[in-house]
Amino acid sequence: MKTYLALVIGAALAASNISNVEANTLLEFQKAVADGNTEIALRYRYEFVEQDGIDKDANASTLRTRLAWTSADFKGFFTKVEVDNITATGNENYNSTVNGNGQYPVVADPTGTDLNQAFIGYKTGNTVFSFGRQRINHNDERFVGGVGWRQNEQTFDGYRVVYDDKTNLSFDVSYVYNVNRIFGSESAKGDLDGKLVLANANYKLDKNHKLTGFMYNMDFNTALALSNRTLGVSYDGKVSSITIHASYATQTDTGDNTVDYSADYWALELSKKVSAINLALGFESLGSDNDTGFITPLATLHKFQGFADKFLATPDAGVNDLYVKASGKWDSLGLTAVYHKLDSAQGSIDYGTELNLVATYPLAKKVGLLVKYANYSADDLATDTSKAWAMLNFKF
């Protein structure tokens, strides 16, 4: 594609009678197209779900094919286009949320083709401006992320400025008018439009300590219950041999949200390497007020509160997550185990417990294998659920 475009531009240039300045500009543009980078990535995944209350088990076998092209620099300008296709390899024995198979548990990987990214950027010094559809991941994606676990990724339509002085200070500020969600363009839940300001700033005190401040104002046009204003700060650092992550945020309603509430979020994780094993103890709390829990509607939610995805929507009484984690690597094999105890932030509701296990192994230079398991044991929220995944990644 890029070679064809370059030849077309060159032929047009040769056939035209233009000035040297214009000719040089067109040649530079031709070179930016010809020197662009093309990437192809394949991700096959099998997902199994057994859920109490649903007679049939889900068996989802899907393949994501991603084609991406990024131009080379043209007077500071560049562009990127990324297209994803998700195909079911076999029968759709799962509820993709749009295929009508409600007799199965949900595996939110609808088939289809989507324009994942398409934006124009301009870089000057340490600052990059961009406009269009793009991926936005802030910090650990607890508040804003691409939901990269799902086959159809979440991306954002809007304007963005990113600054990084390469030493201490960086910030990322966006105005977003539409969120392209994981459910795909055929779903009524596929888009969230509104007026969203997403601001995040990081400052490195030194090589071992970093402070982050963030402000998210989400005023949705139709999903009124998700409209919120969140202000927060986090710290990541290392003291002696202890790695620390601490975060606090406060959230209120905004826009046309019909509920008046004010809730707090806080998290603390301490980790330490013992021999070849990394051990971590953490606690995360999403508070509640006026029967409304602290929400994070744009987060990569699968990363938090258990891989079984029982807390994609915060319960009205909020949620407390006390967890322990162990991870390590033996040669090329990576292993992780996490145990969660999940309770309400208000009242004394025992939601349940969850065990997560993950194994990763590189089969070749650009081929990776991942196997994952989640078991949620319900007490007073949802139902017992087991999930298992096997995934292969190929990059070209």
Kindly tell me if the per-residue pLDDT of 5 is higher than 70: no
207 shares its domain with 170: yes
Answer yes or no: is pLDDT of 13 > 70: no
Domain total for the chain? 2
Check whether residue 16 and residue 111 sit in a common domain.
no
Residue 71 shares a structural domain with residue 172 = yes
Q: Is the domain of 141 the same as that of 176?
A: yes
What does the alpha-carbon distance between residue 293 and residue 262 come to, in Å, rounded to a whole number? 9
1 & 128 share domain: no
When pLDDT is cut at 50, 70 and 90, the band that residue 185 belongs to is: confident
Residue 267 and residue 217 share a domain: yes
Q: What is the pLDDT of residue 79?
A: 96
DSSP run (H or E) holding 65: strand 58-70
Contacts of 396 (CB under 8 A, 6+ apart): 39, 40, 41, 366
**DSSP one-letter code for 86:** E
Give the per-residue pLDDT at 279: 98
46 shares a domain with 31:
no
For 56, list phi and psi in degrees, rounded to 5: -95, 145
What is the value of pTM for the model shown? 0.91
CB-based burial label for 110 (10 Å; 0-12, 13-18, 19+): buried
Tokens 């590189």 label which residue?
Answer: 362
* pLDDT, mean over the chain: 94
Mean pLDDT, residues 96-110 = 96
pLDDT digits (tens, 9 = 90+) for 20-32: 667 677 777 777 7
**Does residue 141 sit in the same domain as residue 189?**
yes
Q: Is 34 exposed, middle or buried (0-12, 13-18, 19+ CB in 10 A)?
A: middle
What are 326's two structure tokens? 């162990």
Enclosing domain of residue 23: 1-35
175: CATH: 2.40.160.10
Instruction: Say yes or no: 31 and 44 in one domain.
Output: no
